[in-house]
Amino acid sequence: MTLRKKQFLLVFLALALGGGACSSPSSKIALKRAHLISQRVYYVPAEQFKALDFAPPPAPASEAQKADIAVTMGWQKKRTKADCDKAAITAKATYDSFWGAKSPFPEPLPKEVKEFFDRLALDLDEAVTNMKERWERPRPFVAYPGQAEPCIKKSSGFSYPSGHSTFSRVFANVLTDIAPERKAEFFAKADEIAQDRVIGGVHYLTDIEAGKRFGDLYHAKLLASEAYRKDIEKMKSLLVK
Protein backbone atom coordinates (compact mmCIF):
# COMPACT_ATOMS: atom_id res chain seq x y z
CA MET A 1 0.00 0.00 0.00
CA THR A 2 1.42 3.41 -0.92
CA LEU A 3 1.86 6.05 1.77
CA ARG A 4 -0.68 8.28 0.03
CA LYS A 5 -3.31 5.53 -0.04
CA LYS A 6 -2.56 4.65 3.56
CA GLN A 7 -3.03 8.28 4.64
CA PHE A 8 -6.34 8.43 2.78
CA LEU A 9 -7.58 5.32 4.59
CA LEU A 10 -6.50 6.70 7.94
CA VAL A 11 -8.29 9.97 7.27
CA PHE A 12 -11.46 8.12 6.21
CA LEU A 13 -11.49 5.98 9.32
CA ALA A 14 -10.66 8.82 11.67
CA LEU A 15 -13.44 10.96 10.23
CA ALA A 16 -15.98 8.20 9.67
CA LEU A 17 -15.75 6.62 13.08
CA GLY A 18 -15.84 10.08 14.58
CA GLY A 19 -19.12 10.75 12.77
CA GLY A 20 -17.75 13.04 10.07
CA ALA A 21 -17.21 12.67 6.34
CA CYS A 22 -14.31 13.11 3.95
CA SER A 23 -15.90 16.31 2.64
CA SER A 24 -15.97 17.79 6.15
CA PRO A 25 -14.35 21.21 6.66
CA SER A 26 -12.03 19.48 9.12
CA SER A 27 -10.66 17.14 6.44
CA LYS A 28 -7.48 19.17 5.94
CA ILE A 29 -6.80 19.09 9.67
CA ALA A 30 -7.47 15.37 9.74
CA LEU A 31 -5.12 14.82 6.81
CA LYS A 32 -2.34 16.62 8.62
CA ARG A 33 -3.09 14.67 11.79
CA ALA A 34 -3.11 11.36 9.93
CA HIS A 35 0.21 12.20 8.29
CA LEU A 36 1.78 12.91 11.66
CA ILE A 37 0.49 9.85 13.51
CA SER A 38 0.20 7.25 10.74
CA GLN A 39 3.25 5.37 12.04
CA ARG A 40 2.30 5.51 15.71
CA VAL A 41 1.04 2.46 17.62
CA TYR A 42 -1.55 3.14 20.29
CA TYR A 43 -2.56 -0.28 21.53
CA VAL A 44 -1.60 -3.18 19.23
CA PRO A 45 1.38 -3.30 16.82
CA ALA A 46 0.19 -4.35 13.36
CA GLU A 47 3.44 -5.89 12.12
CA GLN A 48 2.71 -9.18 13.92
CA PHE A 49 -0.30 -9.84 11.67
CA LYS A 50 1.83 -10.25 8.57
CA ALA A 51 2.72 -13.75 9.77
CA LEU A 52 -0.10 -14.63 12.15
CA ASP A 53 -1.17 -18.29 12.20
CA PHE A 54 -4.58 -17.86 10.55
CA ALA A 55 -6.55 -20.04 8.14
CA PRO A 56 -6.37 -18.87 4.51
CA PRO A 57 -9.42 -18.35 2.27
CA PRO A 58 -10.66 -21.16 0.00
CA ALA A 59 -8.40 -21.88 -2.94
CA PRO A 60 -9.62 -20.71 -6.37
CA ALA A 61 -11.67 -23.38 -8.17
CA SER A 62 -11.97 -25.44 -4.96
CA GLU A 63 -15.29 -26.84 -3.78
CA ALA A 64 -15.18 -24.44 -0.84
CA GLN A 65 -14.79 -21.52 -3.26
CA LYS A 66 -17.73 -22.76 -5.32
CA ALA A 67 -19.84 -22.95 -2.17
CA ASP A 68 -18.72 -19.45 -1.21
CA ILE A 69 -19.75 -17.80 -4.46
CA ALA A 70 -23.01 -19.75 -4.40
CA VAL A 71 -23.96 -18.02 -1.15
CA THR A 72 -23.13 -14.59 -2.57
CA MET A 73 -25.09 -15.30 -5.75
CA GLY A 74 -27.98 -16.68 -3.71
CA TRP A 75 -28.29 -13.37 -1.92
CA GLN A 76 -28.01 -11.52 -5.22
CA LYS A 77 -31.13 -13.35 -6.42
CA LYS A 78 -33.26 -12.87 -3.32
CA ARG A 79 -32.16 -9.54 -1.81
CA THR A 80 -34.69 -6.73 -1.82
CA LYS A 81 -34.31 -3.00 -2.27
CA ALA A 82 -34.73 -2.64 1.49
CA ASP A 83 -31.88 -5.13 2.03
CA CYS A 84 -29.63 -3.14 -0.28
CA ASP A 85 -30.60 0.20 1.28
CA LYS A 86 -29.70 -1.15 4.72
CA ALA A 87 -26.39 -2.58 3.44
CA ALA A 88 -25.57 0.80 1.91
CA ILE A 89 -26.01 2.49 5.29
CA THR A 90 -23.69 0.17 7.22
CA ALA A 91 -21.20 0.32 4.32
CA LYS A 92 -20.52 3.94 5.27
CA ALA A 93 -18.65 2.67 8.34
CA THR A 94 -19.51 5.70 10.49
CA TYR A 95 -20.12 5.37 14.20
CA ASP A 96 -23.78 6.26 13.68
CA SER A 97 -24.30 3.88 10.74
CA PHE A 98 -22.75 1.07 12.79
CA TRP A 99 -24.38 1.66 16.17
CA GLY A 100 -27.02 4.40 15.87
CA ALA A 101 -29.48 4.19 18.74
CA LYS A 102 -27.45 1.37 20.30
CA SER A 103 -24.58 3.70 21.19
CA PRO A 104 -24.09 3.76 24.98
CA PHE A 105 -22.67 7.29 24.88
CA PRO A 106 -24.50 10.63 24.98
CA GLU A 107 -25.25 12.70 21.89
CA PRO A 108 -23.37 14.50 20.55
CA LEU A 109 -20.57 11.98 20.92
CA PRO A 110 -18.04 13.31 23.45
CA LYS A 111 -14.67 14.37 22.03
CA GLU A 112 -12.84 11.85 24.23
CA VAL A 113 -14.94 9.02 22.79
CA LYS A 114 -14.30 10.11 19.19
CA GLU A 115 -10.57 10.24 19.85
CA PHE A 116 -10.61 6.81 21.49
CA PHE A 117 -12.30 5.24 18.48
CA ASP A 118 -9.91 7.11 16.18
CA ARG A 119 -6.99 5.47 17.96
CA LEU A 120 -8.58 2.05 17.72
CA ALA A 121 -9.32 2.57 14.02
CA LEU A 122 -5.79 3.68 13.18
CA ASP A 123 -4.23 0.60 14.76
CA LEU A 124 -6.86 -1.79 13.46
CA ASP A 125 -6.80 -0.54 9.88
CA GLU A 126 -3.09 -1.31 9.65
CA ALA A 127 -3.67 -4.79 11.08
CA VAL A 128 -6.52 -5.56 8.65
CA THR A 129 -4.46 -4.30 5.72
CA ASN A 130 -1.61 -6.63 6.68
CA MET A 131 -4.03 -9.55 6.82
CA LYS A 132 -5.68 -8.76 3.47
CA GLU A 133 -2.36 -8.33 1.68
CA ARG A 134 -1.22 -11.79 2.76
CA TRP A 135 -3.82 -13.50 0.57
CA GLU A 136 -4.88 -10.83 -1.94
CA ARG A 137 -8.25 -12.48 -2.44
CA PRO A 138 -10.28 -10.78 -5.19
CA ARG A 139 -13.76 -9.64 -4.27
CA PRO A 140 -16.70 -11.54 -5.81
CA PHE A 141 -17.40 -8.94 -8.47
CA VAL A 142 -13.72 -8.99 -9.49
CA ALA A 143 -13.40 -12.78 -9.56
CA TYR A 144 -16.74 -13.25 -11.31
CA PRO A 145 -17.20 -10.23 -13.61
CA GLY A 146 -20.57 -10.07 -15.28
CA GLN A 147 -22.02 -12.52 -12.76
CA ALA A 148 -21.60 -11.10 -9.27
CA GLU A 149 -23.13 -7.63 -9.21
CA PRO A 150 -23.12 -5.63 -5.95
CA CYS A 151 -26.16 -3.53 -5.09
CA ILE A 152 -24.03 -1.16 -3.01
CA LYS A 153 -20.92 0.83 -3.85
CA LYS A 154 -18.07 -1.43 -4.93
CA SER A 155 -15.31 -1.59 -2.36
CA SER A 156 -11.67 -1.40 -3.35
CA GLY A 157 -8.95 -3.58 -1.89
CA PHE A 158 -8.91 -7.27 -1.18
CA SER A 159 -11.68 -9.40 0.22
CA TYR A 160 -10.25 -11.62 2.99
CA PRO A 161 -10.89 -11.05 5.83
CA SER A 162 -13.75 -8.56 5.67
CA GLY A 163 -12.72 -5.21 7.11
CA HIS A 164 -16.27 -4.20 8.06
CA SER A 165 -16.77 -7.54 9.81
CA THR A 166 -13.49 -7.17 11.68
CA PHE A 167 -14.17 -3.58 12.70
CA SER A 168 -17.75 -4.22 13.82
CA ARG A 169 -16.67 -7.30 15.78
CA VAL A 170 -13.78 -5.50 17.46
CA PHE A 171 -15.99 -2.56 18.37
CA ALA A 172 -18.72 -4.89 19.66
CA ASN A 173 -16.09 -6.38 21.95
CA VAL A 174 -14.85 -2.93 22.93
CA LEU A 175 -18.33 -1.63 23.69
CA THR A 176 -18.95 -4.76 25.75
CA ASP A 177 -15.81 -3.98 27.76
CA ILE A 178 -17.38 -0.58 28.44
CA ALA A 179 -21.02 -1.63 28.94
CA PRO A 180 -21.02 -5.44 29.51
CA GLU A 181 -24.72 -5.62 30.29
CA ARG A 182 -25.45 -4.77 26.62
CA LYS A 183 -23.22 -7.44 25.08
CA ALA A 184 -26.05 -9.22 23.27
CA GLU A 185 -27.16 -5.99 21.55
CA PHE A 186 -23.67 -5.06 20.42
CA PHE A 187 -22.86 -8.47 18.99
CA ALA A 188 -26.23 -8.82 17.27
CA LYS A 189 -25.64 -5.48 15.55
CA ALA A 190 -22.09 -6.47 14.56
CA ASP A 191 -23.48 -9.66 13.00
CA GLU A 192 -25.98 -7.58 10.99
CA ILE A 193 -23.21 -5.31 9.72
CA ALA A 194 -21.14 -8.31 8.68
CA GLN A 195 -24.05 -10.01 6.91
CA ASP A 196 -24.82 -6.82 5.02
CA ARG A 197 -21.47 -7.19 3.23
CA VAL A 198 -22.56 -10.51 1.70
CA ILE A 199 -26.06 -9.25 0.96
CA GLY A 200 -24.59 -6.18 -0.73
CA GLY A 201 -22.42 -8.41 -2.91
CA VAL A 202 -18.96 -7.17 -1.93
CA HIS A 203 -17.87 -10.19 0.16
CA TYR A 204 -18.03 -13.95 0.51
CA LEU A 205 -19.37 -15.68 3.60
CA THR A 206 -15.88 -16.96 4.48
CA ASP A 207 -14.62 -13.34 4.44
CA ILE A 208 -17.24 -12.54 7.07
CA GLU A 209 -16.43 -15.56 9.23
CA ALA A 210 -12.73 -14.74 9.03
CA GLY A 211 -13.42 -11.12 9.99
CA LYS A 212 -15.26 -12.24 13.11
CA ARG A 213 -12.47 -14.64 14.09
CA PHE A 214 -9.84 -12.00 13.51
CA GLY A 215 -11.90 -9.43 15.41
CA ASP A 216 -12.03 -11.66 18.48
CA LEU A 217 -8.33 -12.45 18.20
CA TYR A 218 -7.49 -8.76 17.85
CA HIS A 219 -9.61 -7.93 20.88
CA ALA A 220 -7.58 -10.42 22.93
CA LYS A 221 -4.48 -8.45 21.91
CA LEU A 222 -6.20 -5.23 22.98
CA LEU A 223 -6.89 -6.62 26.44
CA ALA A 224 -3.16 -7.20 26.87
CA SER A 225 -2.52 -3.48 26.34
CA GLU A 226 -2.29 -1.42 29.52
CA ALA A 227 -3.04 1.75 27.54
CA TYR A 228 -6.24 0.19 26.22
CA ARG A 229 -7.38 -0.94 29.66
CA LYS A 230 -6.81 2.55 31.06
CA ASP A 231 -8.78 4.12 28.22
CA ILE A 232 -11.65 1.69 28.76
CA GLU A 233 -11.96 2.93 32.34
CA LYS A 234 -12.10 6.50 31.02
CA MET A 235 -14.82 5.54 28.55
CA LYS A 236 -16.92 4.02 31.33
CA SER A 237 -17.04 7.42 33.01
CA LEU A 238 -18.52 8.95 29.81
CA LEU A 239 -21.50 6.60 29.45
CA VAL A 240 -25.04 7.91 29.44
CA LYS A 241 -26.04 8.30 33.08
pLDDT value for 2: 41
- What does the H/E/C string look like for 54-94? CCCCCCCCCHHHHHHHHHHHHHHHHCCHHHHHHHHHHCCCC
For residue 45, what pLDDT is reported? 96
CB contact set of 51 (below 8 Å; sequence gap of 6+): none
Instruction: Determine the pLDDT at residue 98.
Output: 83
Q: Note the pLDDT of residue 100.
A: 80
- Output the pLDDT for position 13: 45
What's the CATH class of domain 3-236? mainly alpha
pLDDT digits (tens), the chain, 241 positions: 444 344 434 433 443 444 332 322 233 334 334 444 456 899 999 999 999 999 999 999 999 999 999 999 999 999 999 999 999 999 988 787 788 888 999 988 999 999 999 999 999 999 999 999 999 999 999 999 999 999 999 998 999 999 999 999 999 999 999 999 999 999 999 999 999 999 999 999 999 999 999 999 999 999 999 999 999 999 999 998 7
Calpha distance 104→162 (Å, rounded): 25
CA 70 – CA 76 distance, rounded (Å): 10
Write down the pTM of the prediction. Answer: 0.85
What integer pLDDT is reported at residue 25 of this predicted model? Answer: 26
Sketch the domain layout of the chain as residue ranges: 3-236
> What is the reported pLDDT for 79?
98
pLDDT for the residue numbered 12 = 38
